[in-house]
Amino acid sequence: MSWAITPDRADGGPARVLVVGAGITGLAAAHRLRDHLGEDATIVVAEQSSRLGGKIRTVDFAGRAVETGAESLLAARPEAIELARAVGLGGDLVYPAGLKPGLSLGGELVDFPAGHMMGIPGDPADVAAIADAKELPDDGMPILRPGADMSVGELVRSRLGAEVLDRLVAPMLSGVYAGDVDRLSLRAVMPQLATALERHSRLTDAVTEIKRPAGTGPAKPVFATVDGGLTRLVYATSAAARADVRLGMTVRELRQTPYGWEAVAGPVPDPMRLKADAVILAVPARPAADLLRGVEPHAAATLSGVPYASVALAAFAFDHIDLPERSGFLTPASGGKTVKAATFASQKWPHLGRRRQIVRVSMGRLGEEALLQYDDATLAKTALRELGEHLGIAVPEPIEWRIDRWGGALPQYSPGHLTRVAAAREALGKRAIAIAGAAVDGVGIAACIASGQAAADEISAQLKSE
């Protein structure tokens, strides 16, 4: 069966854009496309699964709206907060209580030192209670050449020693990437620090420069979420985009035609052909690579080289559990445990209320995919046992629990990632096709929104210049 989004646009009629993937990137792109292209444009969002949101999924758990995937928006950068306001959720933004997470070391929860950047201290003395930090003698040369890259592990180990890396930096980064610090690109995961290192010969000086307070006034919250769950942001963005959203529609092939783009989508025995003037790929790296193989092999190769880590999340609701007054804790991988972090969600987020205590436990790092094969009961038992060990308490029986597996969910940016992505975009050129999302531009929701919007800006500009 053949289905065109609308008839051919040879006469300069309304634009037709196909967005592949209805995660937050694809939906933010669709929303921005609507702004640029107006009401006449046809914007189709093809989503292979039966729901919107990708890695964002809120469920009703113990009578609360609880996240099974991403739980917070970075409010320190503008994109997520601005999108929430633009789609009518400004009044529903809520903020954490301001409790700090702890670091679980040798069966004890300790405070993270102040003045660090993703665990890297501005002064080695600040972390003396936790890690032996030895700063390398200063050779007067900037640590990074312009455009050069290195792994976070290499930087921190060589400049401040292995303990700072293992006890502070790795747990912080593991909370976001579930990755291996020796394979994570400094430029991609700490771009501001990488730029500062082009001017500084001491790592601590670069951190201090970045951490210097920009002025006085009350500190703004770094994170936020939406009362009722982040799925509300997903649906509100989709509604505001007024896009033609097709759930259960896998895009399986893509080719350029003399008039634009043609995609083969839908079930193998009954495929549809979608015609569009432009395409935005807002899918993880593997499907994006598959779709680009016949279009631009160089871009496909870049994407197929992005590894992914898998994680499992256990959520528990307790009538009462004796939790420390913190937002949760992180653990170093060297502790040899399966649990890498826990969030005391009902303490961290006041809007959830404390009548029932909700704890989210995160398990799995890069290379630990086998963990996801354990059955739910085994994962829940492991999470509860280790929770008790980290907190030094006997954990009571939860009144409700659930396990969510996120296989291949967190992209790992290896050194040189940004250069490779820039080259892939260069190779795609101005053919009215764009790549966006966590696979290329950043794991966080705010970064994904920025990426989807930038793709929409670029595609709209190309369509208008035609």
Ligand X SMILES: Cc1cc2nc3c(=O)[nH]c(=O)nc-3n(C[C@H](O)[C@H](O)[C@H](O)COP(=O)(O)OP(=O)(O)OC[C@H]3O[C@@H](n4cnc5c(N)ncnc54)[C@H](O)[C@@H]3O)c2cc1C
Residues engaged in binding ligand X (CB under 6 A): 20-26, 46-49, 54-56, 69-72, 74, 250-251, 282-284, 287, 311, 313, 406, 409-410, 437-438, 443-445, 448
CA atoms within 13 A on the CB side of 145: 1
CB 118 to ligand X: min, Å: 15
CB 189 to ligand X: min, Å: 13
The 10 Å Cβ neighbour count of residue 305 is 12
CA atoms within 13 A on the CB side of 454: 14
Q: Which is nearer to ligand X, 103 or 313 (CB)?
A: 313
Structural contact between residues 131 and 184, judged by C-beta atoms closer than 8 angstroms:
no
CB 294 to ligand X: min, Å: 14
Distance separating alpha carbons of residues 96 and 113, to the nearest angstrom: 20
Let me know if 273 is exposed, middle or buried by CB neighbors in 10 A (0-12, 13-18, 19+): middle
Distance separating alpha carbons of residues 54 and 67, to the nearest angstrom: 12
CB 240 to ligand X: min, Å: 16
Q: Which is nearer to ligand X, 238 or 460 (CB)?
A: 238
CB 320 to ligand X: min, Å: 26
Q: Which is nearer to ligand X, 51 or 145 (CB)?
A: 51
CB 183 to ligand X: min, Å: 18
Distance separating alpha carbons of residues 438 and 281, to the nearest angstrom: 11
Q: Which is nearer to ligand X, 26 or 101 (CB)?
A: 26
> Residue 345: left if φ>0, alpha if ψ -120 to 50, beta else—which one?
alpha
Q: Which structure tokens are listed for 156?
A: 């921190």
Q: Which is nearer to ligand X, 57 or 159 (CB)?
A: 57
Q: Which is nearer to ligand X, 124 or 367 (CB)?
A: 367
CB 364 to ligand X: min, Å: 9
Q: State the amino acid at position 206 in one-letter form.
A: A
* Residue 33: closest CA among 13, 7, 14: 14
Q: Which is nearer to ligand X, 104 or 238 (CB)?
A: 238
Distance separating alpha carbons of residues 246 and 243, to the nearest angstrom: 9
CB 117 to ligand X: min, Å: 18
223 phi and psi angles, rounded to 5 deg: -125, 160
Q: Which is nearer to ligand X, 401 or 406 (CB)?
A: 406
Let me know if 183 is exposed, middle or buried by CB neighbors in 10 A (0-12, 13-18, 19+): middle
CB 362 to ligand X: min, Å: 7
Structural contact between residues 188 and 150, judged by C-beta atoms closer than 8 angstroms:
no
Q: Which is nearer to ligand X, 17 or 438 (CB)?
A: 438
Structural contact between residues 28 and 81, judged by C-beta atoms closer than 8 angstroms:
no
